[in-house]
Amino acid sequence: MAVPSARPGMPHPATGPGAGPGPAEGADVLFVALSAGFTSLSHPLLYVKLLVQVGHEPLPPTIGRNLMGKKVLYLPGFFTYAKHIVKVDGKKGLFRGLTPRIISSTLSTVTRGRMKKVFPLEDMEHVSNKDDVKTSLRKVVKETSHEMLMQCVSRVISHPLHVISMRCMVQFVGREVKYRGVLSSIGTILKEEGFLGFFVGLIPHILGDVVFLWCCNLLAHFINTYAVDDNFNQASVIRSYTKFVMGFYFSDMDSSC
């Protein structure tokens, strides 16, 4: 028996609003959820790293010995520093600045996904050992340039939340309370610095992204071209995994910066 078609103006049962998200949308949601989970788990490590980078040393160094047996002074390690934060702010203190960081990571992920749909990269053959140097480099340059465009746009959009997250965490040094929630932080920055205050440090951040992206893609290219032989049965699989690892590592760096 034939299935009746939908009337004009009525959504088709398979594509209507009640049909639920398609496979692509479901994958995007899953990736965003996994990214948010990884960001939450890694946040205490980033928090401690940031405080160390800004030179905050609340604990005295300890005396130890190096490989040569000479006495040296060691700064507190991650767990010692984390215990100090818990002692001062409680366990929740380890997640200071997490909310704007998750929002920043989500904005970056969603922006990249939307841009891939709006500006799709035309299909290219995998780089193989049979390609000459000029052909293989042309493929890599084209693909990396496309990724660089997406990364720069996503960085500009997500950077304001990155600024808020960093300022929330650095407040631990001076025990300030200027930046609390996301909305109040937005109001504080607008009042004191104006709209440009959301983009402090954007240029070096983008430059770091671009340099890191090109290094990762070129490294993956040389591994796939010169270390993986086309005669190997699983050559295409290995090349895919190489790109995946490099892409995942770059995404990790993106969410932790």
Is 14 within a domain? no
Largest CA distance in the chain: 87
Per the structure block, which two tokens stand in for 63? 């005396």
Task: List alpha helices for the chain, DSSP H.
Answer: 23-53, 78-89, 98-118, 133-174, 182-192, 202-222, 235-256
Is 12 within a domain? no
Q: Residue holding tokens 């930046």? A: 179
Is 60 within a domain? yes
Is 7 within a domain? no
Is 11 within a domain? no
pLDDT in tens, 84-118: 999 999 999 999 999 999 999 899 888 888 888 88
In this prediction the pTM is 0.75
Per the structure block, which two tokens stand in for 255? 């969410």
Whole domain around residue 75: which residue ranges? 23-256
pLDDT in tens, 40-97: 999 999 999 999 989 888 888 888 888 888 888 888 889 999 999 999 999 999 999 9
Domain count, the chain: 1
- Helix orientation angle between 133-174 and 78-89, rounded to the nearest 10 degrees: 40
pLDDT in tens, 144-202: 898 899 989 999 999 999 999 999 999 999 899 899 889 999 999 999 999 999 999 99
> Which three-class secondary structure state does DSSP give residue 96?
coil
Domain with 205 in it: what CATH number? 1.50.40.10
- Alpha-carbon Rg of the chain, whole angstroms? 24
6 phi and psi angles, rounded to 5 deg: -70, 150
- The pLDDT > 70 percentage for the chain reads 71
